[in-house]
Amino acid sequence: MPKAGIIYNDVKPVAGRVATELKDQLTAAGWDVCVTASIGGILGYSNPDSPVCRTPVEALTPPGFDSDMEFAVVLGGDGTVLAASRQVAPCGIPLLTVNTGHMGFLTEAYLNQLPQALEQVMAGEYEIEERVMLTVKVLRGDAVLWEALCLNEMVLHREPLTSMCHFEIEIGHHAAVDIAADGVIVSTPTGSTAYSLSAGGPVITPGVPVLQLVPICPHSLASRALVFPNNEPVNIYPVNIPRLVMVVDGNGGCYVLSEDRVYLERSPYTAKFIRLQSPEFFRVLREKLGWGLPHIAKPNSVELP
């Protein structure tokens, strides 16, 4: 009996309703179906008085989800996709992402396209696009205090108010650099269209094997976004702030104290996305962010999204 999964945003009633209907449909078609909420992939915040809050990467995988699962349908927005990626990446399960949220930059289909998309996936008529992920760790000496998988970006900054921080950053075996800024972002190509884009970083197409470091509001004309190979690990040391907060993929993280360091490296796991047609990143940029539209619209020159 073939096996499929459903991961849905349990905060959105429409996603819960569709998940139930979809399970019944797949079960009737002879599939073994496992259902879980995306909240299991949400990273919790540690308490300021107890900054250690470790959940091992593999512990986020929901019961019943394993490498025998042919695919999983994700019902939600971009946040749900990010959470689902952390849940199933260790098992290598391909994700059919269906937008029930707002922008849905990472999603493949809209809700009204689900019947046709599901039929296509069940027939095996699709491609799989792999996206690089990061392993993010907070270490004190050699002890791992906290870890997570990251598809978009890691952000390190001061709270509750934004102010100047100094970071000593080592990339691979290169000489350490000092950056004074409100915070720093380390982003994958997937995350280059998220926070790092707003902070002035470049858009990077998904297939390029690089990461980028983006200072947030740097106090230097020389501190700008840096793109480097994704096989080089990154160590970040807070210099002048007793406590920083780290956020991964915009939904959770932990506190980083002055004696800690943040370590990032390319993860052995990747996020696998089902594409119903050949991946076309520029089309998504055009439809979702308006990239490449002419500054003067002419008749028949462009199809607006």
Q: Is 78 a catalytic residue?
A: yes
Cβ-contact 195, 155 below 8 angstroms: yes
Count of Cβ atoms closer than 10 Å to residue 148 Cβ: 26
As annotated, the binding site includes 78-79, 152-153, 182, 193-198, 251
What is the distance between the alpha carbons of residues 34 and 23, in angstroms, rounded to a whole number? 8
Catalytic residue among 10, 24, 49, 78: 78
Q: What are phi and psi of 298, to 5 degrees?
A: -120, 155
The letter for the amino acid at 138 is: V
CA torsion 97→103→105→107, rounded to 10°? Answer: 10
Spatial neighbors of 31 by CB under 8 A, at least 6 apart, are: 1, 2, 3, 4
Q: What are phi and psi of 195, to 5 degrees?
A: -60, -40
Tokens of 233: 């690990």
Of the candidates 41, 47, 82, 44, the one whose C-alpha atom is nearest the C-alpha of residue 65 is: 41
Alpha carbon distance 44, 226 (integer Å):
29
Residues in the annotated binding site for NAD(+): 78-79, 152-153, 182, 193-198, 251
- Residue 166 CA to residue 181 CA, distance in Å, equals 7
Among left, alpha and beta (phi > 0; psi -120 to 50; other), residue 158 is beta
At 194 the three-state DSSP class reads coil
The set of residues, in sequence order, having a beta carbon less than 8 Å from that of 126 and lying 6+ positions away, is: 120, 274, 275, 276
Helix axes 13-28, 114-122, angle to 10 degrees: 40
Catalytic positions, written as ranges? 78
